[in-house]
Amino acid sequence: MSIYCGNQRNDSKAWIGYFSSSDFLQVAAEPEFMALLLQEVQEQQNQYPPSQKFLNWLSIAYQIKRNNNAELIKEICDLGMIPKTYTNLELMLSDSFAEYWQLVQIAKTNHWTEDSIYKYSKIIEKYQLIFIKEKRNNVISGEISRHPIGVHLLIYFFEKYPLPEELYQILWDTLDLKSAKYGRAQIVYGKMRQIVLEHIPTIQEQPQKQLGAFKSDFLYCCAGCYKRAGSNPQKDKEEIEAFCERQEFEQALKNRQFVSENFVDGIWVEQGTPSLFLEKFLDFYTQHPDAPYAEKVIKKVKDSLKAQRIMKQKNKEKQAEETKPIPKGILPLSNRSFFDYWFHICCNTMCVPRFCYQYSDFQYNQTWIYKFLTTENDCLDNGKTPYKKIQYSLQDGEERAEVEIRFHLYYIDFIINGEPTYRPVFDWDWLATLEETDMFFHLLLMTVTLYNQYDIVEQEIIRRLYLLDLPLSKNEMNTIAGIFAKYICSLSMTNDSNITEHLEDENDEEYSQADKNNSFQPVDPVQLLSQLSYVIFTEDSSKLYGAICAPSINWIKVFEQPLNENPEFLFSQKCLVNNEDKLKRFAIDMLQEKVAISEYPLEKLVHLPIAVYLTPDKSEANQINIPKVLTGQQITLEHLREALNLFAEKKINRLEFSWETQLPFTVKQEYQARRSLVFLREDEKYVCLLFDDASVECYGLPVNPSQDKLMEEDFEFVPFLKEKLFSKHIHKSFHTIQIQLERVFQSIFFPNGYHLWSQAINVSHGRNKYNMDKQLLGNFPVEWAHNNISDKIYLDIYPDSFALTNLQETSETIILKTSNRFKIQTAFQQYLKGQAQQLCLNWSYLNLVLLQENGQYMMVFLHRDNAEFCVADKQSYFKSNNEDAAKELFLGKITPSYLLHKDIAAFRNHLELLLAKITEPECILNEFAQYTNTNLPKEWSFQTLCEEFLGKENV
């Protein structure tokens, strides 16, 4: 009680020191101590009421806010007031006390199960040196930071409670106590290291487990399988089996820390992992049930394999549907593809788009939808969106209604007796009598009834869903029926009861006040129906727009409806004329303005580009009136507008706007770094890309950015130029790019801040791969997209082996493994520097021979019983049919001079491009006048080359 009654009673440091001391921790959990503490506080209350600091740290030490069962301590806290929120320091130590008591609770039972060891491991991970801080700068949810005093709590725990040897091993490995001999690590962990050594004296003699390379090689192997996308299953199998035969495989899978980080909490057994890997993991843990977290890993693997099978089946069904001819007219709702699409646009029309994205089963195939809607009226190229329609002639007594339902890309429209209709007009009781189930569902959105009919409506919709005989779970049916029932049961005895709740804009105070003043007045049901608010929709090829019309308060609100998010309000306005027809007309006009395409919003370019490059279509080359390169004063808004028009009119195939940028000071590059906006066309495929040399990023503009948050599995790879892009980046016309140009121009310097762009190349390997992407995908000239001579060579797939012959003609063959891959980069540098005569790269199905003599280089690609030579001089090559073609002696053979490279930078680029596409080299080999296999001397025949460089046994 010396602190409690002394001068330090309001000193936080004094209380922290006491509550983290061994004197306190030794008795803290004893009921006798807590009773004595309560008694002392009560006796001293008149003279020394409990101070705020005392109560703060008492509540933290005993975790009162986390429903601790220390009732006696709660009584003490009730004598004063503990704060509603803690400071950053208090939060840090509160976390540490919570973790300390968790460990104590488990240690007291002395029953260390897989779950309790997992909890222990997760706690220890939070005390790695990187997380030990004197203060937390920001209170961020999920931020990990622990105060050094928290380490003192752990030290006391380890001193008091004996633990199984495995737990000391986890502590040693997780906190890297082997190296905690000097500096800050020794200060923080010195005592803890000593405790572990007392229990396991030999632990510091154990070899340190080096699994970093093993982990990176796993990711590299997965990336290779992902890029091949099933095109070479034999190669996938060979690489995965070779990886799983490595010595580190069993070592890693039995290392508790490794398994926890990469299997239990990591991505090694997620759905995206190749199935062959998952099966290998499943076999291992089935055969080793005592391995760490075996049960958890087996469950995750089985779940991932199941998800893969389901996804594979769905993709198979989608591919089958895409190959089938789609019949004219509307398909039955029992067709699953059509049902998914119909339910999607119903959710959009009801303004609940996010529901479909919570259930992957309802994510429809957009490629199929375009095909379905354009079977009869393909109008995408002229900027209009397609739709299909179905017509019903309805009779109810003497009343007759001609109903036309239009199915658009993103919403449903209703035309009744020739007039667009936005409010429900059919009574639920009449709809429920319809025998035809498809008609029942098609008319649901035009149906209304009282709110107290919800249960009846829901049950009838569920009954009808069963009649469709779709593979829907009971839970899915209940959810679907609930969404429709809530929409239909919108009538109550209050005015305008169905103003869409989730479309309310909290910042729109005037609208909210008008709503409050007019919403709760009892009215006649007939009058109520005529006063219901409604939504008018329109769309372009990539977006849905809506206008909420509220006649009761004479108000309009216009919003943009992303397909998987909440609506984004654009503006709202009160109409001066109290006339519903004018209100409706006003809303339609505002929506038409949104989908009307401005010519080109070039005013959104904050900075004009420093250069513009145009590549004409061959058939249009003579009709272009502006230069192919614009710089300086030539760059005007008029010329930029003309260039965009030329691209839209298919007169140029490539248009680039280019700005200068700065590289990080650690990066050296032989040309001025650029940020480039590139428009590309190949046949009827259009692409908009953004290349940033500074961040080494290549971004693509999706056709529909709001759909870009779907799982990547929904987008297949599509060949474009010499690379492959996600299908989401392939536009069917320039129109879907043009309607997004305003945001494109705004986001050029901040591509990550506009939620517009996404990665064009999913797998990145740094600047050397990025420069290859610029050439293969962006059609950049070599001068603006090459790697430096000394940079590492990018390899898409490592060769199985290579043979290096030095200038003394001594040869060394190296079988490549994961552990020695660095050697091939050393070999490349020796060869490019002229220090080697020959470098032969060998894959199981092809070979690449690189030759050098006196600063002249030659590249020969051997595959499919053929030899392809890289051309150095195109002009000389064109003359090769004539006897005048120059020849030289190269490595003792008569050789056409057009095959001998003297420009090492250009030669290296040719080499790297071929290595980047080594799995599908045709796009490189077929490039005009770049490679040849004709009119060559016999000394360079395929047979001779194989015998000389590969050995007769390999011919």
Q: Which residues of 337-363 are buried (b: 16+ CB within 10 A; e: fewer)?
A: bbbbbbbbbbbbbbbebebbbeeeebb
Given this model, what pLDDT does residue 955 score? 41
pLDDT at 494: 45
| Element spanning 867, H or E | strand 866-870
Q: What is the pLDDT of residues 427-486, one digit of tens each?
A: 899 999 999 999 999 999 999 888 889 999 999 999 999 999 887 888 889 989 999 999
pLDDT of res. 526: 47
Alpha-carbon distances of 28 from 197, 320, 873, 907, rounded to whole Å: 28, 68, 85, 75
The whole-number pLDDT of residue 883 equals 58
Non-local (6+) Cβ contacts of 302 within 8 A are: 282
Query: b/e string for 589-606 if b means 16 or more Cβ within 10 A?
Result: ebbeebbeeeebebeebe
Phi and psi of 813, rounded to 5°? -105, 130
Region of 773 on the Ramachandran plot (φ > 0 left; ψ -120 to 50 alpha; else beta): alpha
| pLDDT lower than 50: segments of the chain | 139-141, 360, 378-382, 493-526, 709-714, 952-955
What pLDDT, on the 0 to 100 scale, is given for residue 438? Answer: 95
pLDDT at 762: 58
Q: What is the pLDDT of residues 903-923, one digit of tens each?
A: 999 999 999 999 999 988 999
Helix residue ranges per DSSP H, 506-551: 509-518, 525-531
In this prediction, residue 636 carries a pLDDT of 93
Neighbours of 97 (CB within 10 A): 24
pLDDT of residue 328: 77
What is the rounded distance in angstroms from the CA atom of residue 150 to the CA atom of residue 160? 16
| pLDDT given at position 932 | 92
The predicted pLDDT at position 644 comes to 94
Q: What is the pLDDT of residue 823?
A: 92
What's the predicted TM-score (pTM) here?
0.56
List the one residue out of 609, 695, 703, 600 whose CA is nearest residue 656.
Answer: 609
Residue 307: CA atoms inside 13 Å, Cβ hemisphere, count?
16
